[in-house]
């Protein structure tokens, strides 16, 4: 799972998004939000967001697990592809593998405001070794594009488990089309 766990990771980092992890994001999305979910898996995050009144215009995954999700390597998508969908945002629970996460932040936030759910501790690191080894940007370089952080806390990733994950999580908004300081929103009671 995470750095504090000795459980074996699931293939392709498949951890479906529970509804409780999505609720803190709702009040930070515009009411007219139309989104692309590029790591949709079986569509759980899409369903939670649609129940909140937001519109999914595209759900894709490199290995879809539902017929409503089409096969696509999200890193091959272009701004022009997104323009044809009418998507205003990209929203996903991405893989947490640092090289791929960093590449996704850079790629997605260049095309649209991008909300990503991952471990909150990431912002307190630099990931210099990852950047050098894989040719991706460091955390401080990527944080220049971070606009909001919305705390979620610990997430129960495995349905039916009595245990929550050992990592605190947050929604991170990255947007290369705007600038300014990062706004932080702590956990709601």
In a domain, 56, yes or no: yes
Is there a contact between 92 and 37 (Cβ–Cβ < 8 Å)?
A: yes
Is there a contact between 46 and 59 (Cβ–Cβ < 8 Å)?
A: yes
What's the pLDDT band for 81 if we cut at 50, 70, 90? very high
Q: For the residues 35-41, what does the mean pLDDT come to?
A: 97
In a domain, 8, yes or no: no
In a domain, 156, yes or no: yes
Cα–Cα distance measured from residue 124 to residue 134, given in angstroms and rounded to the nearest whole number: 20
Full domain range(s) for residue 29: 19-179+181-185
Cα–Cα distance measured from residue 174 to residue 90, given in angstroms and rounded to the nearest whole number: 10
Can you give the CATH number for the domain in which 70 is found?
A: 3.40.50.150
Cα–Cα distance measured from residue 121 to residue 130, given in angstroms and rounded to the nearest whole number: 16
In a domain, 144, yes or no: yes
Residue 23 has a pLDDT of: 96
In a domain, 86, yes or no: yes
> Residue 35 pLDDT more than 80?
yes
Stretch (H or E) spanning 118: strand 114-119
Q: What's the angle, vertex CA 115, arms to CA 17 and CA 22, rounded to 5?
A: 35
Share of the chain above pLDDT 70, in %: 87
In a domain, 1, yes or no: no
The domain total for the chain is: 1
Global confidence as pTM: 0.90
Residue 60 has a pLDDT of: 98
In a domain, 106, yes or no: yes
> Residue 140 pLDDT more than 70?
yes
Cα–Cα distance measured from residue 71 to residue 38, given in angstroms and rounded to the nearest whole number: 10
In a domain, 46, yes or no: yes
């Amino acid at each position: 799972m995470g750095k504090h766990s000795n459980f074996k990771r699931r293939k392709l980092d498949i951890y479906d998004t529970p509804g409780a992890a999505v609720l803190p994001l709702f009040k930070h999305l515009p009411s007219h939000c139309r989104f692309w979910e590029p790591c949709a898996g079986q569509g759980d995050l899409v369903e939670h967001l649609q129940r909140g009144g937001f519109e999914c215009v595209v759900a894709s995954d490199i290995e879809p697990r539902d017929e409503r999700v089409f096969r696509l390597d999200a890193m091959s998508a272009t701004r022009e592809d997104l323009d044809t969908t009418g998507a205003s945002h990209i929203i996903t629970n991405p893989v947490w593998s640092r090289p791929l996460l960093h590449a996704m932040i850079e790629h997605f936030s260049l095309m649209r405001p991008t909300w990503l759910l991952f471990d909150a501790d990431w912002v307190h690191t630099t990931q210099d070794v990852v950047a050098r080894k894989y040719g991706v940007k460091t955390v401080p370089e990527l944080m220049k594009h971070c606009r909001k952080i919305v705390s979620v806390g610990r997430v129960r990733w495995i349905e039916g488990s009595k245990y929550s994950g050992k990592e605190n999580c947050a929604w991170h908004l990255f947007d290369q089309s705007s600038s300014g300081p990062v706004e932080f929103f702590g956990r709601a009671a």
